[in-house]
Every structure is written in C-alpha cells, then in structure tokens.
Amino acid sequence: MRILITGGGTGGHTSPASAVIEELRRRDPQLLLQWAGKRGAIEERVAKSLGVPFRAVPSAGWPRKRGPRQAWVALKMAVGTLVALRSIRSFQPQIVFGVGGYVSLPAMLAAQELGVPVMLHEQNKRLGKANGLMAPKAARVFLSFPDSIGSYPAERAMVVGNPVRAAFLTPPSPAEARKRFELAEGVPVVLVVGGSQGAKSINQAVAEVVQGFGERDAQFIWMTGRGNVEAAYAAASKSQATVRVYEFIDDMAVAASAADVILSRAGASSTAEIAALGKPSVLVPFPFATDDHQTRNAEAFVEAGAAVLLPDAECTGARLAEELRGLLRDPERRARMGDAARTLSYPNAAEAIVEAMLSHVFEGGR
C-alpha cells in the first residue's frame, strides 16, 4: 500500500499521524510512505525520526485581516498545490491522509484534483479550517468526538477518537516510571507539561507553586519547553520538594505514567494521551488557539468529571497551588477522575483508521 501523510505545524497534528504510521507498518510490511509538509517545521523532524521520506510543500497560514498578505498566501498555496501535484503524480499514493493544519491543504487539494481518495482526521472537538474545507469531498472523515462541531458528510464520518502511540497504551507501571525519574515512593507526583514550546503562564505559576511545597507534599516532573529551563532551575533550587526539570522529555509516556496529576495545555494529543493513561488532570487551555478549540477539548473532560479547567488568565501561583493541593490530598477524587478520563479514551483509534484505509484500497471502499 502507498500512503501519503500530510499535515503538521504542531505536535497535536503530528502525534496522531505517528500513531497511524505505527499501525500501518504493523499491518502492512510492504507499506510505502511519504509525508508532505512545510520545510523546517515539526512535521519534517517527526517524519525523519520515523524514517519516512519527506516532501517539502510551500504553504502559509491564512491571515485573519484583509490585506496584501492574503494575496501572497493565496499565491504560495497555489505554488504549493502545483508542487504537491508533481509529488503525487510521481509517488502515486492510493490514499492521501490529512491530519490537519494549513500545511495539509496543498496536498489534499492536489489529491482531489487528481482523483486520489482523501481521508482526514480531526483531533479537536471543532473541525479545523483546513479539514473543514476538505471534508465535503473526503472519502472518510475520522472524528475524535461524537459531537464534533462543524460541517461534514455524516455518511462518511467515523468517530474513532484520537490515535495515540503504542507507548501510551502499554506504559510501565507508575512504580517503574518513578524509578526512572529517581522519585520517591509514597509522595504524589505532578507532571507539568505545556507542549514543546512551553507555556509562559503555566511555567510562571509553577515557579511559584514549587517553592511552597514541602518534601512530603509533592514531587514534580517539569517540562519547561524551549527557553524556559534556566528560570525553572532557579525556582526548583528554592523548593523543599523534589523537582526534576527538563527542557524536553523524549519519553512522555513514562513521565505521564509516573504522575498522580498532570498539569497541561488542552491540545488534542495531550488530552488523548491523558485519557489513554487514565490520569486526572488540571487543564489550562491555550487562549489563542484557533477557534478556541483547546477550551472545547478541556470542557469535554470537565463534563466527564475527568479534569479541572483552569483558564489561562486565572493560572496564578496561588490558584494553581490551591487546585493541586485539593487533588493531591484526595486520592479518592483522583481515582474517580482517572476512571472518567478512561471513558474518553479510544485505544483502538489507530487500528480503526488503518482498517478503513485497508478496506478502501483492497475492498473497493467498503
């Protein structure tokens, strides 16, 4: 089977693509893959780490304000579509699989122009702009939520959830995970993660929080993101609690398994991983995300009883400390929230997507 993956811009788009690639490779030893995206962006790094040939396609996000830049972006998208047309004619994929982000548009437009079936996955509760444009003619629209917001052909939509990598479905035990981070048993663990670029409000609040916790109150695994690690080290040095500071954490599944509570943004991949692990969480949605989709994601967890939603504007050290102390002192509440989180998990999401691909290619689209 020949599959072209397209999309990226954030880990929220590339993580489900990685999970689907894992499953495709497990199911089809003769698989041929390519990934189309923006040069130098996260999708190129992820593709190379997975050993997937990468094809750079010019693209740019659509400006919200009218002006000359809109004409420039339209021209760039047109050039990108021409580049994608050449790549698709050369590679001849049987399916183009879009995972969202403006970088996915040129390849999906080119595929539809050439009559190549397009399947797309929406990670968030609200359909993104690129997926919204492509959904009407898509062969399949894979959704993460049963009540996804947006216009899409219901007869071609499938609720599959958000695929997560196998590591999150078979993590080490919490005890083993804590050993890897040199953490003590019997003291609750908070994992802090704001995404690969970090989260200013979260990092600033956590810098205050850790200085108010004692040795037996909590332990922290703190992923700061790029450019924030020195300030985090300084705050950690003033804390009586154990605080492990990292700019990045390569094996997030292990870190999350070690945690009793996860403090995170509410991106689609982060929330899917939290659900797969069945962890209680404090979610601080990024307030400037497109269509405020992170708030919609967090609200779904709150409605299920799986998370506390803390608005970014209210994410102060005092407020965050209050929320964390309340959770850390109440193991029964944490257990209920963890069970609720699991109800939002779709552990077979990648398998369902790949099964639909195989059916379309080898069984005539049934």
- What's the confidence (pLDDT) of residue 197? 53
H or E, element range at 298:
helix 293-304
pLDDT at 75 exceeding the cut of 60: yes
Mean pLDDT value of segment 26-34: 94
Instruction: Report the chain's mean pLDDT, rounded to a whole number.
Output: 92
8 A C-beta contact, residue 53 and residue 82: no
Mean pLDDT value of segment 289-311: 90
pLDDT digits (tens, 9 = 90+) for 87-135: 999 999 999 999 999 999 999 999 999 999 999 999 988 888 899 999 9
pLDDT at 196 exceeding the cut of 70: no
| CA geometry: angle 35, 363, 100, nearest 5 deg | 30
- What's the confidence (pLDDT) of residue 66? 77
Nearest to 267 by CA among 184, 144, 178, 174: 144
How many Cβ atoms are within 10 Å of 221's Cβ, its own excluded?
25
- What's the confidence (pLDDT) of residue 284? 96
- Residue written as tokens 């069970």? 339
pLDDT digits (tens, 9 = 90+) for 40-70: 999 999 999 999 999 999 988 776 777 777 8
- What's the confidence (pLDDT) of residue 195? 60
8 A C-beta contact, residue 63 and residue 44: no
The lowest-confidence range among 161-175, 228-242, 252-266, 279-293 is 279-293
At 41, which amino acid appears? A
CB hemisphere CA count around 7 (13 angstroms): 28
3-state SS, residue 160 = coil
- What's the confidence (pLDDT) of residue 324? 97
pLDDT at 233 exceeding the cut of 90: yes
- What's the confidence (pLDDT) of residue 65? 75
Tokens of 13: 């788009």
- Give the C-alpha separation, 76 to 58, whole Å: 6
pLDDT at 198 exceeding the cut of 70: no
How many Cβ atoms are within 10 Å of 342's Cβ, its own excluded?
16
154 class by beta-carbon count within 10 Å (0-12 exposed, 13-18 middle, 19+ buried): exposed
8 A C-beta contact, residue 152 and residue 174: no
**pLDDT grade for 293, boundaries at 50, 70 and 90:** confident
- Give the C-alpha separation, 170 to 145, whole Å: 23
Mean pLDDT value of segment 257-262: 98
pLDDT digits (tens, 9 = 90+) for 142-192: 999 888 888 899 999 999 999 999 999 999 999 999 999 999 999 999 999
- What's the confidence (pLDDT) of residue 232? 92
Domains of the chain, CATH where assigned: 2-163+347-362 (3.40.50.2000), 167-342 (3.40.50.2000)
8 A C-beta contact, residue 280 and residue 341: yes
